[in-house]
Amino acid sequence: MSLPREGIPWIEIVKELRKILRELPTHFTGFVGSMTTVPHQLAKQVFLEFMEVNANDIATFRRVRELELEAVRMLGEILGCRDCVGMITTGGSEANLAALYLAREHGYEVVYAPLTAHDSVFKAAKLLRMRVVIVEHRGYRIDVDSLEEAVRSNGPGIIVATVGTTGFGTVDPVEAVSAIAREHGCVVHVDAAFGGFVAPFLYPERKLGFSNDAVVSATMDPHKLGLAPIPCGGLVVRDEKWFEPLVFEAKYMPSGYQVGLLGTRSAGSIAAAWAMLKHMGWRGYEAQARELMRRTRLLTSKCAEIGLEPVVEPEVPVVCIGIDRDVEALEFLAKRGVYLYRCGLAKGVRVVIGPHVDEQAIGEIVEALRDFTKSSRSPSS
């Protein structure tokens, strides 16, 4: 029986769990494949303080819903929206699911996306039984000609454009995509789960969000470069009317309703997102974005010195380093204490330059990669 009949003293439990934790890689010890990073101390503190408040009891904790809307409005401002509404979610997957659900409820039942979109988009379409039309990509960005052809043949739907693709750090041409959407009666969801904390600061001349009329919603995850702890995603929606289908009856709640896909949900994520947006401000995230791209360029130039190239030049700090034997490389690197991810559509290993990936970490990644390329060249390997 694994449930003890008599409870175990907490000190022993802590000891056992800490032992497990010590054996796991951490952001500071080589875990550089993921889009998560070390949460800011402030975010951790307020998360713990608000953790036990149920954000979905909107009558009792009205102020928490207000905080949530303030956080969402700040996320929206980064993406060019003055008065967006929405909600804090458990992450990008939930936000994408909710966004496609909204589109479906508003009558847009076809999803247009290239394979460079995050897997959660296809998962959401499957769960919602929406038809997916795969659009070509060129240079790991939506190919607008292919998109136009697809919408011409398949009719109105929701187009998913990604700002910061998961595997390659590329940015879809949101403005051109939105123009096609307008012309053909489609709407656009911008998945800026990762790149939303980078691209709007680095490329202010590009229209990446709500300044395009066709954009109805966006995903932007504070638990990635927003520096909040997991779980903390964001669904940003253009207006109340579009958000309406996410307001559900909850007969037993004092308010009579709840928002979003979940029932009970922790206010900790909301407090953490709100706190980080207020603490970092525009300038804080802008400075972070610049520094992370500087380090990204450092990584690619050091890789070039050992004969490795990115599959495509990234626009946000996600680099797919082209390597044919990528699965082998991941195993080799993990043994060296460098934990990378796969790129997905291309052969290569993915590095995400979060704030915890400093110059020393970059040096260690490149050294491990150099050793892999040497070992895979040697005849005895």
Give residues in contact with ligand PLP (CB under 6 A). 35, 91-93, 96, 118, 120, 162, 164, 166, 191, 193-194, 219, 221, 233
Q: How far apart are CA 34 and CA 308, in angstroms?
A: 20
**Rounded least distance, CB 120 to ligand PLP, Å:** 5
Nearest to 92 by CA among 82, 103, 100: 100
Helix, strand or coil for residue 205? coil
Nearer to ligand PLP, 125 or 366 (CB): 125
Task: List the one residue out of 106, 105, 159, 170 whose CA is nearest residue 133.
Answer: 159
Q: Nearest approach, Cβ of 95 to ligand PLP (angstroms)?
A: 7
- Residue 199 parent element (H or E): helix 199-202
C-beta of residue 192 within 8 angstroms of C-beta of residue 199: yes
Nearer to ligand PLP, 109 or 221 (CB): 221
- Cβ closest to ligand PLP, residue 93 vs residue 288: 93
Count how many residues are written for the chain: 381
Nearer to ligand PLP, 56 or 162 (CB): 162
Q: How far is the CB of 229 from ligand PLP (least distance, A)?
A: 12
**180 or 235, CB closer to ligand PLP?**
235
* Residue with smaller CB distance to ligand PLP, 207 or 223: 223
Provide the 10 A C-beta neighbour count for residue 160: 30
Q: How far is the CB of 46 from ligand PLP (least distance, A)?
A: 20
* Angle between helix 359-377 and 267-305 (nearest 10): 50
CB of 224 to ligand PLP, least distance (A): 7
List the one residue out of 32, 31, 113 whose CA is nearest residue 318. 32
Least Cβ distance, residue 6 to ligand PLP (angstroms): 39
From the CB of 172, what's the least distance to ligand PLP, in Å? 10
**Taking the complex as a whole, how short is the minimal distance between the CB of residue 116 and ligand PLP, in angstroms?**
9
CA distances from 219 to 99, 299, 302 (A): 8, 28, 33
Bridge partner residues of 319 (DSSP): 351
Closer Cβ to ligand PLP, 56 or 166, answer by number: 166
For 69, the 3-state DSSP assignment is helix
Q: How far is CA 299 from CA 36, 108, 294, 323, 358, in A?
A: 19, 42, 9, 15, 10
Alpha carbon 304 to chain centroid, angstroms: 28
Nearest-angstrom CA–CA distance, 379 and 110:
51
Smaller CB separation from ligand PLP, 58 or 75 = 75
Measured from the CB atom, the residue of 35 and 198 that comes closer to ligand PLP is: 35
Question: Where would I find the beta strands (DSSP E) of the chain?
Answer: 85-89, 110-114, 131-135, 137-138, 141-142, 158-162, 187-191, 215-219, 233-237, 247-249, 257-259, 318-322, 341-342, 348-352
Least distance to ligand PLP, CB of residue 326, Å: 18
